[in-house]
Structure 1
Amino acid sequence: MRVLYDPEPRSTDEIFSPEELATFRSSHHVTEWQGEDRTAFYARHLPETEILVSQQPMGADRLALAPRLRAIFNVETNFLPNIDYEECFRRGIHVLTPAAVFAAPVAEMALGMALSLARNIHGEHAAFLTGEEKWLFEGNRQSELLAGSTVGIIGFGDLGRALYRLLAPFGCRVQVFDPWQPNGHLRRQGVEPVGFDALMSQNRFIFVMATITTDNAGMIDARALGLMQPGAMLLLMSRAAAADFGALTADAASGRIRVATDVFPVEPLPKDDPVRKVPNMLFSPHRAGALTWALREIGTRVLEDLDLISRGLPPIACRRAERETVARMRSMPVSSPNPS
């Protein structure tokens, strides 16, 4: 198949192993963007393109230039609002993202951060370096077990399901809030569906794993945080826009709750940002999913679906955009050094 390849902000070395890159180039007629003017490049090559690997805008004008187009792979891994999805649906063009590759790495980091919050591993490590550690029971006065505890998961997509699998040995009661999934479906997964307020008030550990949509941006606000039990733990693992960061840091600073976050409203976080000094918070610089394995899995899944499409079969390794939900997606894109 004829592939127009423009993976920025990902790099080829990130998403393809040398062996899979060789397979990609030998199995398909690949035209690669090399830094030239994008408008002219796309105008020249879209008429023959069958597969597009790119996160660049594809409005009605560009789609009209691509009569043979069968699929768009966004290896940046978000469904961005820069595509005329309705036109793609009308024409039967698959819009795909291999975002699920980050589920297992994010879930593992979430579990690790939860254990650290519960037992203050990070805090006692820092205290040990300055000779201020507390030994034995004295260092565990605020500690509690994840095992047998109560866990709430906000969002039961790829991230939430991956986390749930890791929690199985801990014997937790797991509640889920996900308005995009019917209660019966959630029960069949083995979790208890609940409303948002019930989840916030009934659990010691709350994991925010939901993608950002027009419906849930800022849902973790002062009111929602006020529902949490004293000393309960909230882990923000998906996108910072899910939370009112001011309210979140204020509640952590007061000592009423414990917070861990892998994401921030501005990234990278400025060196002098006051959030760095907020107590009762565990920080990670948006690195939960950023593993070489996960990035290379992007290339693997793209190749799998390219093979299926070339044989007249539907793609299954990547997630397809759905008409009913894609217009609501509001995740921030990975920044690109050469926006077009």
Structure 2
Amino acid sequence: MKDKTETRSAKPVVLLCPAPQKRDRIFTADALKRLKNNFQVVHLEDSSDPGELDRRLPEAFAIVGQPDLDTGRLEAAENLRALINVEGNFFPNVDYPTAFSHGVRVLGCGSAYAQAVAEYSLGLAIDLARGISWQDAAMRAGEEKYVSESNSGAVLLHRAPVGILGYGNLGRRLHRLIQPFQNEVRIYDPWLPPAVVEEDGGIAATLEETLSASRFIYVFATATADSAHLLDAAKLDLLQQDARIILVSRAAVVDYEALHERLVTGRLYAAIDVWPTEPLPADSPFRELPNVILSPHRAGGIEQAFHSIGDMVVDDLLLMERGLPPVRLQPAAPELVGRYRNKPVG
């Protein structure tokens, strides 16, 4: 048995089980080296032993990943101080009240994707405004039209009224990114007081006001029991003629059948990066719509975003090992984390 001096000098144990992420996707060689230099890293991703997680839980200082953690497992993890989700969503497979009551910090990496998603969302909005990808397809098919004749339906993003649904990491980063376009920006987020929106130069508005007043709508709302089909048929009917809707967050917040019905009429334009079923079925009717930009859930998934996750994890684990609070990862709010209805991204 180890004596107390040896136990105190041992490196804290970090259980690395990042699925559905891959270890080498989120950790650069340098980041992984820093992690191993300061912690005893147990690579459960490489383990073929289904019982290793349970055997290792009592000694774990941190878990990087989000395996199933029921009450019993959390009770066994008597030294656990951090549970770090590296996929980007908090899943309902953890007994969060028990984790919080045991002093476990529940942390997420959602902010790592914010810049990538914001830039992609802006790109989709510009494409919806000017028809860039549609005209590219027309030229490749030998069906192009030139000069003003090719600009039917084109509008300026500059000074167009904008709506943002959901003002978390993604909404705030997008809001900063579009400042040069001088938009009037209405923001709907029922979890924030109006002062937060107004301090950033936005207009706090109801969902109905935001939809009816905006030509461009960015949908960043998170998936909860309350937000399921937040954009249903009635809400979609509030959108003005020729409104452009950019869907890059959670498919569950939109009634896709109702959206398709309204897109078929040609009254709306849409750029869609998230789908109720992924991959999008080959026979999906959305593939036939000429007023839709199709995107295969790629807004945030770029190498720079993935690598920033590993750096954030190592930086915050080093702080916590010194008895300091994490500063780079996003802490889960006990009042909110149980409300999410997120699913892993494939």
TM range (shorter): over 0.9
Q: Does 1:16 align with 2:31?
A: no
Query: Which of residues 272, 279, 284 in structure 1 aligns to 2:295?
Result: 284
Taking only aligned residues, the RMSD between alpha carbons, in angstroms, comes to 1.0
Query: Which of residues 217, 221, 227 in structure 1 aligns to 2:232?
Result: 221
Pairwise mapping of residues 103-182 of structure 1 onto structure 2 (< 5 A)? 103-182=114-193
Q: Structure 2: where are the runs of 5+ without partners?
A: 1-11
8 A Cα contact 2:247 2:274, kept in partner: yes
Counterparts of 1:296 and 1:315 in 2: how far apart (Å)? 18
Letter in 2 for 1:329: Y
Letter in 1 for 2:188: F
Structure 2 partner of 1:35: 47
Q: Deviations over 1:43-94 (max 9, x none)?
A: 2111111111121111111111111111111112211111111011111100
Counterparts of 1:330 and 1:305 in 2: how far apart (Å)? 26
8 A Cα contact 1:101 1:295, kept in partner: yes
Query: Which of residues 70, 81, 89 in structure 2 aligns to 1:78?
Result: 89
Structure 2 length normalisation: TM-score? 0.95
Structure 1 partner of 2:198: 187
Letter in 2 for 1:333: P
8 A Cα contact 2:219 2:247, kept in partner: yes
Counterparts of 2:248 and 2:42 in 1: how far apart (Å)? 36
What fraction of aligned residue pairs are identical, expressed as a percent? Answer: 42
Q: Does 1:44 align with 2:73?
A: no
Counterparts of 1:9 and 1:175 in 2: how far apart (Å)? 35
Q: CA shift at 1:12, angstroms?
A: 1.3
Q: Deviations over 1:199-243 (max 9, x none)?
A: 110010000011111111101111111111111101111011110
Letter in 1 for 2:330: R
Letter in 2 for 1:118: A
Letter in 1 for 2:49: D
Letter in 2 for 1:327: G
Pairwise mapping of residues 164-313 of structure 1 onto structure 2 (< 5 A)? 164-313=175-324
8 A Cα contact 1:58 1:84, kept in partner: yes
Structure 2 partner of 1:98: 109
Counterparts of 2:49 and 2:250 in 1: how far apart (Å)? 32
Q: Deviations over 1:144-189 (max 9, x none)?
A: 1000110000000000011001100111111100000000111111
Counterparts of 1:275 and 1:255 in 2: how far apart (Å)? 13
Q: Deviations over 1:293-317 (max 9, x none)?
A: 0000110100111011011111121
Counterparts of 1:81 and 1:103 in 2: how far apart (Å)? 22
Counterparts of 2:122 and 2:30 in 1: how far apart (Å)? 33
Counterparts of 1:251 and 1:274 in 2: how far apart (Å)? 13
Q: CA shift at 1:276, angstroms?
A: 1.1
8 A Cα contact 1:252 1:279, kept in partner: no
Q: CA shift at 1:121, angstroms?
A: 0.9
8 A Cα contact 2:242 2:268, kept in partner: yes
Counterparts of 1:77 and 1:208 in 2: how far apart (Å)? 17
Letter in 2 for 1:271: A
Q: Deviations over 1:219-276 (max 9, x none)?
A: 1111111111111101111011110001112211210000111000001112222221
